[in-house]
Chain A
Amino acid sequence: MSLTTVSAALALAACGTSGPSTSSSSAGLTMWALNDQTILKESVDAYNKDHPDAKITLRLYANDDYKQKLRVAFGAGQAPDLFFNWGGGALNDYVKADKVDALTDAQVDTGRFTPSVMESATFDGKTYGVPANGLAPVVLYYNKKVLKDAGVEPPTTYDALLTAVKKLKGDGKVPLSLAANSKWPTLMYLEYLLDRTGGSRVFSKIASGDASAWKDPSVTAADQKLQDLAKAGAFGDNASSVSYDQGASTALLYTGKAGMELMGTWEYANLVKAAPDFAKKDLGYVAFPALTDGAGSAKNIVGNPSNFLSLNSASTHKKAALEYLKDYVMNASQMDAYLAAGSVPPVNGLESKLAATPSSSDKEWLTFVYDLVQTAPSFQLSWDQALPSDQADPLLTNVDKSFLRQIEPTQFGENMSEAAQ
């Protein structure tokens, strides 16, 4: 106990030195989020302008150590009033420990948000968070020029994907750019392959705590398909050295070294930033291919429905926090800001706003994402976020081992079933 308390105190002291003094946070709220949330920051600025006497103190953290820092802060009773999270199993840990307050429709107007998104922050019928950034389903991006040169149509079925892989490989390209060093991008394939093979019910059972559901034959079949792709050379020779954070997998796509990339919708903004000409001219995108003999709907999507802001149950500023969540998160100007950044906010009834988007390439993209989510029967939260946090590492490790073909497809489900017990 003492080590963690000491290290918690040190960690907090370390971040406190650069932050504002504690006196300002006693009058106003504190809120923690991730570095790149610039639009969220704008909402905080707007709130602070209206409430000069009790401002929100926003602290931004890098992705990697944020989760740990948050956990340690909660353990040490030093947590912020509002905190950014991914929903799913990790948020449920906090709910189960009574660290988060449920939010009612009357308090924060939850009815305005896309229902499939809210599911990630709903436990036992109660809502524990408000969406705090854009919809992030995983889609298949492609380089129009590379595909055309290889004589390949954007794949809409799994068989077409396999054909495309062969042709692109023959053309000397990496068929599918994959940052396997980061592990979670590989997981995206398995998520889609299982959903298409067995339907969304299989993972729902797993997420509800049924460890034996990992042994469902469709899990093995999905893992087999992932291995088949790897064996066919779909990811090139070097995928396991590519890490996502350094932007190498993104670069492979826009430099024309790779034909396609499966990635979350945030990649669109990355591509626009890194290669604006490519994004306008040669960037294409489709939903993950359908599986003709699979049980799952081809309209199902996986990814991150959204990130959420949740309320610390020990907060002494709940009234102000609720006011911020209701009036400043995803309000009209926030929605415009998200759309302008190429990101679709998780709110209902965006059609007219989408139609008014000035840039045609942005409009096409935003409409694509909005329709994808609105028509999806199921929106599965990324498995590593949906499962309790003690299963995330065994999951990523076993996915990586499947990708490297160090384990047999049957072994994947068995290992996971064991880890889930």
Chain B
Amino acid sequence: MAAPALLLFGLFGLVPLVGVVALGFARWDGLGDLGWAGFDNWSGVLTDGATWQALWLTVKVMVISWLVQTPLALALGLFQAPPGRLRALLAVLWFLPLLLSAVAIGLTWQALLDPSFGVGATPGLHWLAKPLLGSPELALYTVIAVIAWQFVPFHALLYQAGLRQIPVSLYEAAALDGAGPTTRLLRITLPQLKYTVVTSSTLMLVGSLTYFDLIFVLSGGTGGPGTATRVLPLAMYITGFQAHDMGRASAVATLLVVTGLGLSLLTTRLSGFTRMDSQQEGM
């Protein structure tokens, strides 16, 4: 049963990965012949201040996204979890952003945030007519907000599912013991949601390493203004497909893979995900 899956993973996961690592040691402009570059690409990437800036921006996007999205998703999940027609309807509405492609979302927000013709042009909303995407200080936070708009519903759905898994008997027992809503939330709901938080956080953290399409569209393909939103995946794309330096882009790509692997190992280790035991056990 596992053989076809392994074969697919090898073909589309491992082979390209090995190819990228190998290409990190090559000089290639995508057109001419491959040449051996040794560690040139690596020393170039690692000594370039732009790489570290891109990595810093990536970490910033990751951490702020987590801080913004987790409480929002949890709150939305808590609201959605109990049965109710209105809640179900609202849940569907919230879910819409997830159905749209990142490009559509990017173009829509770009138009909405246009200071001359977007939302800011509406009478009474002129205070919104700010270069949110154009100011080097604000652009990154604007991007993070749009990312949150797109992904909070997904994580809310995870939390909703997690909440509905909690046995009602726990709450009944707590009610018999005279526990109020706050106590129930802190003593039952949140501990029971532990693994959902871990899952959601891992997806968020590792996922934010790959944010590319949305930022690409919102910044006009450049990671601008200046380099204010040029996260690592965007830097990789620009190096590879605009500057046609495939070797160096592969080195950046490898750096991304290593960061991603390290990060997901770290989150699983810290959260005890590897020793994950049944949530029913404690009962």
> A residues touching B (Cβ–Cβ < 8 Å)?
1-4, 6, 64, 67-68, 71-72, 74-75, 93-94, 96-97, 99, 180-183, 237-243, 245-246, 248, 251-252, 257, 389-393, 396-397, 400-401, 404, 406
Contact = CB atoms under 8 A, between A and B. Distances in A.
B241 A240 contact: no
Nearest to A96: B32
A382 to B, nearest CB: 15
B120 to A, nearest CB: 9
A1 B225 contact: no
B243 A75 contact: no
A72 B19 contact: no
B273 interface: no
Contact of B131 (A182, A241, A251): A241
B114 A246 contact: yes
Contacts of B136: 404, 406
Interface of B: 15-16, 18-20, 22-23, 26, 28-32, 34, 107, 110-111, 113-117, 129-136, 219-222, 224-227, 238, 241-246, 250
Contacts of A6: 15-16, 19
Contact of B225 (A96, A181, A237, A251): A181
Nearest to B17: A3
B222 to A, nearest CB: 6
A379 B222 CA distance: 27
Contacts of A94: 31
Of all A-B residue pairs in the complex, the 5 with the closest CB atoms, nearest first, are A240-B134, A241-B134, A2-B19, A238-B115, A241-B131
Contacts of B19: 1-4, 6
Most buried by B among A240, A241, A390: A241
B113 to A, nearest CB: 7
Contacts of A97: 29, 31-32
Given A238-B115, A246-B111, A406-B226, A392 B242 contact: yes
A237 B131 contact: yes
A248 B222 contact: no
A167 B130 CA distance: 23
A15 B240 CA distance: 21
21 contacts: A1-B34, A2-B19, A3-B20, A4-B30, A6-B16, A6-B19, A71-B241, A94-B31, A96-B32, A99-B31, A182-B222, A183-B220, A183-B222, A239-B134, A240-B135, A241-B115, A248-B117, A389-B243, A397-B226, A401-B226, A404-B136
A392 B245 CA distance: 12
B116 A181 contact: no
Contact of B117 (A2, A3, A251, A400): A251
Contacts of A240: 131, 133-135, 224-225
A251 B23 CA distance: 45
Given A71-B244, A97-B31, A238-B129, A2 B15 contact: yes
Contacts of B32: 96-97
B207 to A, nearest CB: 21
Contact of A397 (B23, B131, B227, B241): B227
A181 B229 CA distance: 12
A181 B23 contact: no
A238 B128 CA distance: 12
A182 B220 CA distance: 6
Given A180-B134, A240-B131, 11 more contacts: A2-B15, A2-B16, A2-B19, A3-B20, A3-B250, A4-B30, A6-B19, A181-B220, A389-B244, A400-B222, A404-B225
A96 B129 CA distance: 48
Most buried by A among B30, B117, B129: B30
Nearest to B138: A241
Contacts of B30: 4, 71-72, 74-75
Given A396-B222, A406-B136, A248 B116 contact: yes
Contacts of B111: 246
Contact of B219 (A181, A238, A251): A181
A390 B31 contact: no
A64 B28 CA distance: 22
A1 B225 CA distance: 33
A68 B216 CA distance: 15
B226 A181 contact: no
Contacts of B244: 71, 93, 389-390
A257 B121 CA distance: 12
Nearest to A407: B226
A251 B250 CA distance: 41
Contacts of A251: 116-117
Given A241-B132, A242-B134, A397 B243 contact: no
A237 B115 CA distance: 9
Nearest to B226: A401
B242 to A, nearest CB: 5
A243 B220 contact: yes
Given A99-B31, A241-B132, A400-B224, A389 B114 contact: no
Nearest to A246: B111
Contacts of B31: 71, 74-75, 93-94, 97, 99
A238 B131 contact: yes
B104 to A, nearest CB: 13
